[in-house]
A and B are shown apart, each in its own frame.
Chain A
Amino acid sequence: MKSVEKKKKEQQSLPERFILLITEYPVPALFIVISILAIPASGFSVGYLTQELITRLVRNSFLVLSLIIPIMAGMGLNFGMTLGAMAGQIALIFITDWGIIGLPGLFLAMILSMPMSVLFGYATGKILNKAKGREMVTSFILAFFANGIYQLIVLYGMGSVINIGSDALVLSRGYGIRNAVNLINVRQVMDNLVPIKLFGINIPLATFLFITLLCVMILWFKKTKLGQDMRAIGQDMAVADAAGIAVEKTRIIAIVISTVLAGIGQIIYLQNIGTMNTYNSHEQIGMFSIAAILIGGATVSKAKIGNVFLGVMLFHLMFVVSPMAGKNLIGSAMLGEYFRVFVSYGVISIALVLHAWKRLKEQERSRAGLQGIATEEARGSEA
């Protein structure tokens, strides 16, 4: 089957291939066109943009990569990754309170976030199993619910029930964590572990290696029995169930893995920034990561590692260039930012609608095909 497609592709001319590529990936194509127009308008140098993109790649890629496994298992885009981000933040609060410095602190935070992420992921997986086919909206609302519990724990539990000794963390009333937590102890410790400067651009090699390790693990995981089971479930849950795959258990594992990775990803994200906004840092993470992977050409049912990196680059390129492009073109950076928000989320909506429309069409086509078979069978029996 694949070789037939390959032969077909080889027979196509270059413009035909280009058009096919654009029709296959309309969202990344649109973003590339917008970026090509916006970059000269922003007036930023190539060096500056490259540095910004590298910084944002190391900051966000791990988080976005955490979305791949649930997509593979047919659970769509996991908005529940926010719960993993919360676990990562709680772990960072603890290591800041204990005064654990440097890489040991960062790795300790990752280990501490794991049991919490596993617990949150398990609960999310259980709930999503009760809402099959509506996983995205369920996980989206679940993230809001979990945010309430997170705020209750951090705002009222920490300092009163949970012992937090540091005055720098606890509010002056004696309980609750301050709005901003200074992560000076772990600030950019991974990014600065193996610093490399190429043509005046800082490349945080250690973080890139850590992200590469995750990519290799995802590729390896896809080939394992569990990975194959997830792909089978993603293609057809009923068939996978009939084949003896423990569908519900496998789906829970997919969400648990995603939540654990999101927790680690949030720690990498925050060590790069160096400050944690206790009550807001996790809120936008789900939306931004999902936007990035969709812009990279992924769909609700299909995502590759390449989509992650392309998406992070294109999405964050818009973040960097649009305010300045808006300022230079219209005289207001605010309008540029509005334009970015409008275009980014508009394109995401279009991507989701297009996907739903394609799925509907495919279902209609397969139904029509089945009806055709049934009619032919009826004719055969009549004859």
Chain B
Amino acid sequence: MLLVLVLLSVFLYNIGKGYTLLLDNKDIELPGGTAKALAMVEVQVDNEEPIELYPRDRDMVLVNGKSHTISITAYNKSFAEIGSYKIRFKLREKSDMFLLSMPALAAEAEDWISPFSPQR
């Protein structure tokens, strides 16, 4: 009985743990050069409401659990679609907050997601 409760607690902790995802559309330095902010990008995390980001915008979504899906559709200055990406990802690092860089994601860079800790 006790073991069942402990296992259930661990399960509830994992599926209920909340994370803050910061969706960032700013220029970012990558190993291959600078990825420029996208003229306009529509971001959807899991089944949340889609969010529109313009250059230098940052927004946030709150999610439960470690596994998520992000879909982004990038547009140019005349609002013509230039590409769309859909990625399933896991929050592996020990942090409550993560920064998701949209330009890095569009550039298919590896470090498009990184743990984030606010300055105190």
Contact = CB atoms under 8 A, between A and B. Distances in A.
Contacts of B15: 104
A212 to B, nearest CB: 22
Nearest to B11: A104
Interface stretch (A79-87, A107-115, A257-265, A277-285): A107-115
Nearest to A165: B96
Given A111-B5, A111-B8, A185-B18, A100 B62 contact: no
B96 A99 contact: yes
B62 A111 contact: no
A311 interface: no
A111 B12 contact: yes
B12 A104 contact: yes
B16 A104 contact: yes
B84 interface: no
Contacts of B8: 107, 111
A114 B4 CA distance: 13
A185 to B, nearest CB: 7
A143 to B, nearest CB: 27
A100 B9 contact: no
Contacts of A185: 18
Interface in A107-130: 107-108, 111-112, 114
Contacts of A104: 12-13, 15-16, 64
B18 A112 contact: no
A103 B8 CA distance: 13
Given A111-B5, A114-B5, A185-B18, A101 B64 contact: yes
Interface string A87-112: 00000000100111111110110011
B17 interface: yes
B9 A101 contact: no
A92 B96 CA distance: 18
Given A111-B5, A111-B8, A185-B18, A101 B13 contact: no
9 contacts: A99-B18, A99-B19, A100-B18, A103-B16, A104-B12, A105-B16, A108-B12, A111-B5, A111-B9
